[in-house]
Amino acid sequence: MKILIALVAAVVLASIVGVIYVGSRSYERTVVADPYGHAVHHDADRRKALELGWTLAVDEAALRAGPEVRLVATLAGKGGAPLDGAEVTFRVSRPGTSRLDASARATAEGAGRYVALLPLPDPGFWDLDAVVKRDGQTLILEQRVHVGGGTADPAPCDAGVRSCAAEAGPLRIVLALSPRPPVPLKEIEAKVELLRDGAAVEGAEVSVLLSMPGMYMGENRILLRPAGNGRYAGQGALLRCASGRRDWLAEVEVRIPGMPGSRARFPFQAAE
Higher pLDDT, 150 or 20: 150
Name the most confidently modeled range: 15-19, 60-64, 255-259: 255-259
- Do residues 21 and 54 both lie within one domain? no
pLDDT in tens, 157-206: 889 999 999 998 899 999 999 999 999 999 999 999 999 998 999 999 99
Would you state the pLDDT for residue 29? 35
pLDDT surpasses 50 at 60: yes
Segment 75-82 mean pLDDT: 86
Both 52 and 19 in a single domain? no
Predicted pLDDT of residue 155: 55
Domain boundary among 147, 180, 209: 147
Q: Which of 114, 147, 180 is the last residue of a domain?
A: 147
Same domain membership, residue 64 and residue 113:
yes
Q: How many domains does the chain have?
A: 2
Would 240 be classed as within a structural domain? yes
**Domain shared by 232 and 181, yes or no:** yes
Residue 61 sits in the same domain as residue 137: yes
pLDDT of residue 157: 84
Whether 101 and 118 share a structural domain: yes
Residue 152 domain flag:
no
On whether both 143 and 190 belong to a single domain, the answer is no
Structural domain containing residue 262? 2-28+157-269
Distance from C-alpha of 184 to C-alpha of 106, rounded to nearest angstrom = 37
Residue 43 confidence (pLDDT) above 90: no
63 shares its domain with 18? no
Q: Please check the confidence at residue 14 and state whether its pLDDT lies above 50.
A: no
Q: What is the CATH number of the domain that holds 24?
A: 2.60.40.1930
Average pLDDT over residues 248-272: 91
What is the pTM for the complete model shown? 0.49
Answer whether residue 10 is part of any domain.
Answer: yes
- Mean pLDDT, rounded, for 262-268: 91
Position 262 in a domain:
yes
**Do 21 and 39 reside in the same domain of the chain?**
no
Q: Based on the domain organization, do 94 and 193 belong to the same domain?
A: no
pLDDT tens-place string over residues 210-251: 998 777 788 899 999 999 999 999 999 998 888 788 889 999
Residue 16: pLDDT over 60: no
Q: Give the torsion through C-alpha atoms of 212, 215, 218, 220, to 10 deg.
A: 0
* Concatenated DSSP letters of the chain: -HHHHHHHHHHHHHHHHHHHHGGG--S-----S-HHHHHHHHHHHHHHHHHHT-EEEE-GGG-B-EEEEEEEEEEE-GGG-B--S-EEEEEEEETTEEEEEEEEEPEEEETTEEEEEEEE-S-EEEEEEEEEEETTEEEEEEEEEEEBSSTTPPPP--TTTS-EEEEETTEEEEEEEESSS--TTSEEEEEEEEEETTEE--S-EEEEEEEETTEEEEEEEEEEEEEETTEEEEEEE----TT---EEEEEEEEE-TTS--EEEEEEEE---
Q: What percent of the chain has pLDDT over 90?
A: 45
Using 50, 70 and 90 to split pLDDT, how confident is the model at 17? Answer: very low
Predicted confidence at residue 100, as pLDDT, reads 87
User: Which of 102, 127, 147 finishes a domain?
Assistant: 147
Q: Is residue 167 part of a domain?
A: yes
Are residues 47 and 134 both part of a single domain? yes
Residue 15 has pLDDT above 60, yes or no: no
Q: Are residues 95 and 163 in the same domain?
A: no
